[in-house]
């Protein structure tokens, strides 16, 4: 399956909406900063992990490809962060509320999309992709409508190789851990967007970047597979979201959050879903514009 076919499959489920992303079509852009911890600097030489605050663009979103999808509907939620490094380059982290990807491959995910249009295909899908049956019990609770974008744990899903200044290499996965509570009880079609704006008017929103570090033998090329809970976890720093971002995605500005946009000190794993993403984003961007 190529990227055009993949985006066609997604559009087949949610419809094609000019000017919007194929997935995570409904979202809110914010601005803020990220400050790395000393522990992060000890395991990567990446420029945004050395301890000095760096500016960030943040997008909270719903997973659906329909921009009119109501906030109260079951859906994965997203948190995408673009970091602006000291050398004027950029790097991104893309995370969602579901802790594991439903399939091992992009082809499997597209089969899942197609099965959603024709539920009678689901038994065949699960027979072909038994890993999805293991993911379903942990993913289903995260699809419930949350009280706020600000109180969700967001998972990076993919493994990345972090390289320290001494050349030591470790594979890690990302989790954004919320540092606030609360939310809205009354839930209308845009309650998450409204609550986010109200919360930011009252003060910053903060998340801690937590790393789970792989041990030898842990699968680093399978986003559907969990690592044991007892793996080393590192507090890598704090993201502070300070307000709405109104200067981006206006006019001809097209903003893309791509987890394969990396910087020195961080490298891709051999995860096929991760490596498929940039081609799919390119097709989505072309259709947005």
Query: Which one-letter DSSP state was computed for residue 190?
Result: T
What was the pLDDT predicted at 132?
94
> Does pLDDT of 125 surpass 80?
yes
Q: Is 278 helix (H, G, I), strand (E, B) or coil?
A: helix
Q: Is 154 helix (H, G, I), strand (E, B) or coil?
A: strand
> Does pLDDT of 211 surpass 90?
yes
Stretch 125-137: mean pLDDT: 93
Q: Which of 17, 24, 69, 158 is catalytic?
A: 24
69 is annotated as an active-site residue:
no
CATH code for the domain defined by 3-288: 2.40.180.10
The answer to whether the CB of 287 falls within 8 A of the CB of 4 is no
Closest CA to 199 of 154, 245, 148: 148
Stretch 58-73: mean pLDDT: 96
What was the pLDDT predicted at 208?
98
Stretch 261-273: mean pLDDT: 97
Residue with tokens 């600097």: 41
> Does pLDDT of 117 surpass 90?
no
């Amino acid at each position: 399956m190529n990227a055009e076919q993949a985006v066609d499959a997604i559009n087949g489920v949610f419809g094609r909406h000019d000017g919007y992303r194929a997935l995570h079509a409904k979202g809110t852009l914010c601005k803020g900063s990220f400050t790395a911890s000393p522990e992060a600097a000890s395991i990567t030489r990446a420029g945004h992990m050395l301890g000095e605050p760096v500016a960030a663009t943040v997008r909270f979103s719903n997973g659906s490809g329909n921009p009119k999808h109501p906030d109260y509907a079951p859906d994965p939620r997203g948190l995408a962060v673009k970091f602006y490094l000291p050398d004027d380059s950029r790097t991104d982290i893309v995370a969602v509320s579901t802790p594991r990807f439903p399939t091992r491959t992009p082809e499997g995910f597209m089969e899942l999309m197609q099965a959603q249009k024709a539920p009678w295909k689901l038994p065949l899908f699960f027979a072909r992709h038994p890993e999805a049956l293991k993911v379903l019990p942990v993913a289903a609770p995260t699809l419930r409508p949350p009280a706020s974008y600000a109180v969700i744990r967001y998972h990076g899903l993919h493994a990345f190789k972090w390289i320290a200044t001494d050349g030591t290499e470790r594979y890690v996965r990302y989790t954004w851990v919320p540092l606030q509570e609360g939310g809205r009880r009354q839930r209308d079609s845009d309650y998450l967007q409204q609550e986010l704006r109200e919360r930011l008017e009252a003060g910053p929103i903060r998340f801690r970047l937590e790393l789970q570090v792989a041990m030898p033998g842990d699968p680093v090329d399978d986003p559907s597979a969990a690592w044991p809970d007892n793996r080393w976890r590192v507090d890598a720093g704090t993201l502070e979201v300070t307000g709405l971002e109104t200067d981006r995605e206006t006019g001809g500005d097209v903003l893309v959050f791509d987890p394969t946009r990396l910087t020195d000190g961080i490298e891709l794993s051999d995860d096929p879903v991760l490596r498929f993403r940039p081609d799919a984003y390119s097709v989505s961007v072309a259709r947005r514009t």
